[in-house]
Chain A
């Protein structure tokens, strides 16, 4: 294991120990939300960041995951632990079905296509009341038990989602270092050129889609189990899709840790702003919008590359200084 990996590993260990040290549920709740969004954004990143396929319809898979496991639990008493696996399979199949047609589209057409699919599913969910309970949403009764994946203590949710994020990150890391990552990046830069180079672009885009939607669906199941109530608007809405993409982009799309950084910025920012202006209705979102514009304009490739650059600068300065010393030493001899 190279030294480069020590930093993230230590961070993950520190994060895992956090609940032992604190029982502040508010912070824990925010951390869970951050980790949840970091997971989904990391999933989105595989398709949207590495592959450059800017999907604004990922809420579809988030909601599909939540609905699949919850409906199985409510109707057949199937444990969400099993429902989770089924949800992932359903999301992957849905991802494939949507990928087949939309991958023919380029640029804005692809983005609009993903929005359209998500909207169709949202409206169908609202309409098909017999199955989905429509806009009244689904409510899981709060009866803590391991089999039902409902916990009294927030710690378990925290560890669960942290574990999910770590696994996702490992997967993204693996993709990043392997040919799949290179191929996806090639597709992002120039799809036609990638094709000419002999890359099976449809295959890799589809693979990215499947992994991406599977992770998003899994996160949806977690969301359902954590909140115990959701409605079509809270899982299928376009705002969720844009937030997912935004987190990855602000952090740094196409990097392993970018989406995690993004989640640690966007989610707390929302919370802070909401608590800051309780008396002027709309001020929080107004400020949020302005910050959003400023950040995306100033850092089009996300914040992580900038931070890495600073990091390298500090680090390299030290290196050059050492070099200078050696030189001086040599000369003095």
Chain B
């Protein structure tokens, strides 16, 4: 029973990780940039969610619509203003530009909101469904449902629409995509926007579960990278499996070994995966292997 409960908790946690990582994966896979400010976009989304709640009395699940739009626009601005000018600069420039952005956003939040831990109160935040003795938290279940919905929608979008195909083409072979007439820059812009919009959705789903504070992003961003690499960069569904994997590993490691060792264990697994299959467990083709930053 204990193990089953651990597994379920792990899967639900994995859903949260997957939700955060899918946006990062989109950015990493298509724009090919290690976006260290990804966690800060999550933080911004949660602060927005809090503002909608505190000033407009809006439930986080309702305000999600607005937040997704706002974050999409923020993503466009970031791509246009910061990332696009440095696309052909060395790898180090890209890394430190996004690191700089993350420092700026963190401290902006500190100046505006102070270091307080803000949270919303919803009627369902501590509701629990009991299933054969297994406790399942309602907000976590909801966010898991959202992840599944997003996975399906993303699949349809990427497979069935022209734009989606263009995005896939760019993520696999940017040279070739360019040659057949895809506007690569616009695809980057769109991918970055979708990436931040997804993390905006993640923020809305997380608000009933977590509190928001200026350095919140830092506690999620490394896990998100682990998830993305495990799942395979550029493979949109890899992030989903990767998230579940890390969630389950984290929970099991905490119960079997010690909660103090769970980071050690998932980082070791991460290293092992990097070594055995650098393209990620769930990656399909070569495409992402040669990511030259």
Contact = CB atoms under 8 A, between A and B. Distances in A.
A282 B111 contact: yes
A156 B102 CA distance: 38
Q: Give the most central of B92, B95, B226, B267: most A CB within 10 Å.
A: B92
Main secondary structure of the interface of B (DSSP, over half): helix
A37 to B, nearest CB: 16
Contact of A301 (B34, B90, B267): B90
A235 to B, nearest CB: 17
B71 to A, nearest CB: 20
B107 A119 contact: no
A300 B271 contact: no
A142 B78 CA distance: 49
A111 B94 CA distance: 13
Interface in A280-327: 280-283, 285-286, 288-290, 292-293, 296-297, 300-301
Given A123-B264, A300-B89, A290 B100 contact: yes
Interface string B90-116: 111101110111111011101100110
A112 B222 CA distance: 9
B271 A249 contact: no
Contact of A123 (B96, B114, B267): B267
A85 interface: no
Contacts of A112: 34, 225, 229, 274
A272 interface: no
Given A282-B111, A288-B103, A297-B93, A105 B267 contact: no
A293 B82 contact: yes
Contacts of A293: 82, 96-97, 100-101, 104
Nearest to B105: A289
Given A112-B229, A115-B222, A283-B111, A300 B90 contact: yes
Interface stretch (B159-167, B169-177, B255-263): B255-263
A82 B65 CA distance: 63
> What's the interface size class on B, roughly?
35 or more
A123 B290 CA distance: 31
A119 B104 contact: no
Interface string B220-233: 00100110010000
B291 interface: yes
A115 B223 CA distance: 12
Contact of A113 (B93, B114, B115, B274): B274
Nearest to B91: A54
A54 B34 CA distance: 13
A297 B95 CA distance: 11
B219 to A, nearest CB: 12
Contacts of A301: 90
Contact of B104 (A127, A245, A280, A289): A289
Given A109-B278, A282-B110, 8 more contacts: A101-B274, A106-B292, A112-B34, A112-B274, A242-B96, A246-B96, A249-B92, A249-B96
Which 6 pairs of residues, A with B, have the shortest CB-CB distance? A289-B103, A289-B104, A282-B110, A292-B100, A293-B100, A282-B107
